[in-house]
Structure 1
Amino acid sequence: MSARATSGDAFSDPAFRWLWGATILAQTGSSLGSVAIPLIAINELGMNEATVALLATSSAVVLLVAAFPAGYIAEFRRKRPLMIGAALVRATMFTVIAMLLLTGSLHVAWMFVALGLNAAMQILFSSASSAHTKSLLDPEHRADALGKLQAANWTSLILGPVVAGLIAGVSSPAVLLLGNAAAFILSAALVRGIPRPEGPAPARGKSSRRGREAIAGAHFLLREPMLRRLFLSWLIFAGAVAALTPITQVFYIQDLQFTEVQYGLLMGLPSLGGLIGAWVTGRIARRWRLGPTVWWSSILRTPWYLLYPLAQPGISGFVMLLLAFTGVLFFSSITNSAMGALRMELTPDHLMSRSSAAWGIATMGAGPALIPILGFVMQATNARTALWAIFALVTVSLLVLPVRRLNSAQATEL
């Protein structure tokens, strides 16, 4: 065992504390940008609904298109310079947009360029960070580290929009953009300051076909028996969860007649469940081990989806859904972090960035694949029936998991 950390807590490793700080600052920057960009697009540039939707769609398309090359670029290079470069490019981009806004020179075209570049740098940072996290930490600390990193994401999601709204309310979107840029600059500085030298990058394979090398991570996910089952289960689950949001929006507002305050509470308060679940993942994984943690947390997240279609109008339905969403996010956070650590253990170092990129692409594509199907179910029947369909899909994702291998002696030792 390495002497880098002396307890099961990843925070006992000083290098991880710097990485965690860099990550939460980068995610805070993203949260600030998610508020600033729509405000500028609508209030400053007067974009209509169609153009705003196209702006969001173009960013998602860039994420999908850039993921494979980003994984390939990150795989055979040192990860920290890539992370620093990606953060500084995003900082520069948001600073330029702020200056253009202040001088009255901002055009719609700049917004498309900025968001496209931001999406490309986001996926590059993520691909490099995933592989770097594996190399930075001992195996026994990875589940806790991934949980703490996911908790950082939950924190930025919960507090980021609130802080961004306050800044925009008392100043201007330009100031918000400059704060966004500052967060990325500080993130880059923390990555630069990680108090441990980075190891060498994996050697490039002998194949001269770059296209084949770029998709080698996806091939590995589909070829390795245990990862293939985990991958399929995740795709089904991710697609069902993505479809849940538009269906519950209709269900809460039209069917259950919840007020705006109730709707806001349902969308916001359960995030605390995700934050807590992510934070305690390391402790749970140390007790249960990785394989059983993935299996049992997947079981425990499933029954909560049964409460959605059973909810009725009124305070009882509101409380039921509040508990359901909190339970879903709590156990899903544990599953996600433990599964991420298990993927790290099963994936060779020279495929880590590319397999992470492939996993991310599949996750982003699962929603658009299932949302239209479940939307059709809702349109043909009603939102409650669509919620029953989501519960069925989540149950299928549980049944697809390789239960025997997850609970085998080998997986228990992971």
Structure 2
Amino acid sequence: MSRPAASDSAFSDPAFRWLFSASILAQTGSALGTVAIPLIAINELGLSAATVALLATTSAAVLLVSAFPAGYIAEFRRKRPMMIGADLVRSAMFMVVGVLLLTESLHAVWLFVALGVNSAMQILFSSASTAHMKSLLSPAHRADGLGKLQAAAWLSIVLGPVAAGVIAGATSPAILVLGNAATFILSAALVRGIPRPEGPSPIPAQGARRIPEALAGGRFLVTDPLLRRLFLSWLIFAGAVAAMTPISQIFYLEELRFSATQYGLLMGLPSLGGLAGAWVTGRVTRHWDLGRAVWWASALRTPWYLLIPLAPPGNVGLVMLIIALTGLLFFASITNSATTALRMELTPDHLMSRSSSAWSIATTGAGPLLIPVLGALMHATDARTALWGVLVLVSISVLVLPVRQLHHHAVPTAETTKEPQHHGR
């Protein structure tokens, strides 16, 4: 296949460049917040480990609960004002925390409120921005655009905590959290400046009841033949990955006895694989077509899990694990972006936000369903055996994919699509 033209890149669209810059700032703000709040809780307020753990639990619970109404709220309203509003609310909340900390008036309750509000606004921003991406980019650019946005998220994961630590060490946690608030203001300004009018929002059906309408996105995911299999595959994979986290921590630290330095390298370096995979998603989907990219990337992420339970103690095992995690994150990132692009293509515009929130809810809930199962296996045997169980689940997630349908589902290219690259609706 010929080398993709420069116009095949989502960056050829100036509106996407503004959205990409806004996303980097918003994700940087979130990364700064994940460092700032624990620092304030532990070093400034002296909260116990149990309270700090409760902060994280509260954030996750709010994220899960707010995902259901967020999709419905975002669906029938203009997306950019929703994104701007979510950014400004988050900014105001973190600004309050910073000011209270500077005036020595901060109470632990404000940290719970700040994390809860941040989680709710994060899912609202995500629901609105996913639907907005579909109307902003032509079909030929969606996979590449989603990959670039995911690459920005990986970059914030890799560099955000480091930058936050440097800022907090050179100044104070209060300055860090105020800087966090400033990134959300800048993100809102960039969303406001996207140089193309936003298209009209879907209109709800007359006389439709609110709860059935809110559930319409999830209903669509389980009734569409291709999406149903794709959804099932993703739930199995997401649940397996969530269950793997506590098992792998025990395996690395107790069975392999890695030092803090070795563990830090293992947690940090493989993220570069995720960053690289997300960045090349556009090229991969143009080479394989969209459906084939989903299947091949899903299949190619699986063998890397074989290396994890085979890792021995010491530096040899560390190198094996870094290679394995880098490889699986590379292909998992491609799978994630390509799957989202395919889901966008298959989902009607008027269901985009609600189906995205339903996907998020189910993905978040898959972990708690599989964590006890694999946890029981680890308790009955050991962590290495439980990691073999993770490999089995990841393999099943590939086997349930509709291979024939995916191999016949192509993504439009800039040459084949008749839709203009820049289209105001």
| Common fold by TM > 0.5 | yes
1:141 & 1:294 partners in 2: Cα distance?
A: 16
1:220-239 equivalence runs, <5 A: 220-239=220-239
Instruction: Give the counterpart letter for 2:49 in structure 1.
Output: E
Cα shift readout 1:162-220 (whole Å, capped 9, x = no counterpart): 00000111111110001100100000000000000000001112343101111111111
Find the aligned partners of 1:66 and 1:262 in 2 and give their Cα distance. 37
Indicate conservation of the 8 Å contact 2:285/2:338, yes or no: yes
How far, CA to CA, are the matches of 1:124 and 1:113 in structure 2? 17
Alignment match, 2:355 = 355
Deviations 1:66-91 (A, max 9, x none): 11111000000000000000000000
- Corresponding residue number in structure 1 for 2:274: 274
Contact 1:207 1:213 in 2 (8 A): no
Indicate conservation of the 8 Å contact 2:229/2:402, yes or no: yes
Percent of aligned pairs with the same residue?
A: 72
The reply on whether 1:84 has 2:84 as its aligned counterpart is yes
Distance in 2 separating the partners of 1:130 and 1:83: 11
Q: Is the partner of 1:384 in helix, strand or coil? A: helix
Q: For 1:348-379, what per-residue CA distance to the aligned partner results, in whole angstroms no more than 9, with x for missing partners?
A: 00000000001111111111221122112111
Q: Aligned pair 1:105/2:117, yes or no?
A: no
Alignment of 1:164-183 (within 5 A): 164-183=164-183
- AA partner of residue 356 (structure 2): S
Query: Following the alignment from structure 2 to structure 1, what is the Cα–Cα distance between the partners of residues 215 and 17?
Result: 32
Query: Normalised by the size of structure 1, how large is the TM-score?
Result: 0.97
1:379 aligned to 2:379? Answer: yes
- Are 1:29 and 2:29 an aligned pair? yes
User: Take 1:193 and 1:221, find their aligned partners in 2: how far apart are those partners?
Assistant: 33
Residues 11-26 of structure 1 mapped to structure 2, 5 A cutoff:
11-26=11-26
CA distance in 2, matches of 1:133, 1:26: 16
**What's the secondary structure of 2:7's corresponding residue?**
coil
Corresponding residue for residue 319 of structure 2: 319
Distance in structure 2 (CA, Å) of the matches to 1:45 and 1:117: 20
- The residue correspondences of 1:2-401 to structure 2 (distance < 5 A) are 7-401=7-401
Deviations 1:213-259 (A, max 9, x none): 11111111011111010001000000111111211111111111212
Residue identity in the other structure for 1:225: P
| Number of equivalences | 408
Letter of the 1:39 counterpart: L
Runs of 4+ residues deviating >4 angstroms: none
2:422 paired residue number? none
**106 and 413 in structure 1: CA distance in 2 versus 1, 3 angstrom threshold:** closer
Q: How far apart in 2 are the matches of 1:339 and 1:139?
A: 14
Could you tell me how far 1:32 is from its partner in structure 2?
Answer: 0.1
- Identify which of 387, 404, 412 aligns with 2:410: 412
Change (3 A) 1:413 1:53: closer
Question: 2:41 & 2:218 partners in 1: Cα distance?
Answer: 36
Q: CA deviation at 1:6?
A: 7.3
Answer with 331-340 or 102-111: which moved more: 102-111
| Contact 1:147/1:282, CA 8 A, preserved across alignment | yes
> Offset of 1:413 from its aligned partner?
4.6
Distance 1:327 1:6, change over 3 A: closer
Separation of aligned partners in 2, 1:14 and 1:181: 26
Given residue 331 of structure 1, which amino acid in structure 2 is its aligned partner?
Answer: F
Distance 2:189 2:64 in 1: 28
Instruction: Give 3-state SS (helix, strand or coil) of 1:412's partner.
Output: coil
AA at the equivalent of 1:190: L
* CA drift at 1:330: 0.2
1:45·1:108 contact (CA, 8 Å) conserved in 2?
A: yes
Cα 1:206–1:6, aligned 2, differ >3 Å: closer, same or farther?
farther
The 10-residue stretch of structure 1 (316-325 or 202-211) with the greater mean CA deviation from structure 2: 202-211
Q: Distance in 2 between matches of 1:66 and 1:285?
A: 33
Per-residue CA shift, 1:372-409, capped at 9, x if unaligned? 2211211111000000000000000000111110012x
TM-score by length of 2: 0.94
Separation (CA, whole Å) in 1 of partners of 2:202 and 2:95: 34
One-letter amino acid of the counterpart of residue 124, structure 1:
L
Report the residue type matching 1:412 in the other structure: A
Q: Deviations over 1:230-289 (max 9, x none)?
A: 001000000111111211111111111212111111100000000000000001101111
In structure 1, what is the Cα distance between the partners aligned to 2:314 and 2:108?
Answer: 44
Q: Measure, in 1, the Cα distance between the counterparts of 2:152 and 2:176.
A: 20
| SS of structure 2 residue aligned to 1:104 | coil
| Structure 1 unaligned spans of 5+ | none
User: In 1, Cα distance between the equivalents of 2:384 and 2:6?
Assistant: 50
Moved more, 120-129 or 313-322: 313-322
Q: Tell me, what secondary structure is at the counterpart of 2:196?
A: coil
Structure 2 unaligned regions, length at least 5? 413-425
Partner Cα separation in structure 2 for residue 206 and residue 403 of structure 1: 39
CA RMSD, Structure 1 to Structure 2 (Å): 1.1
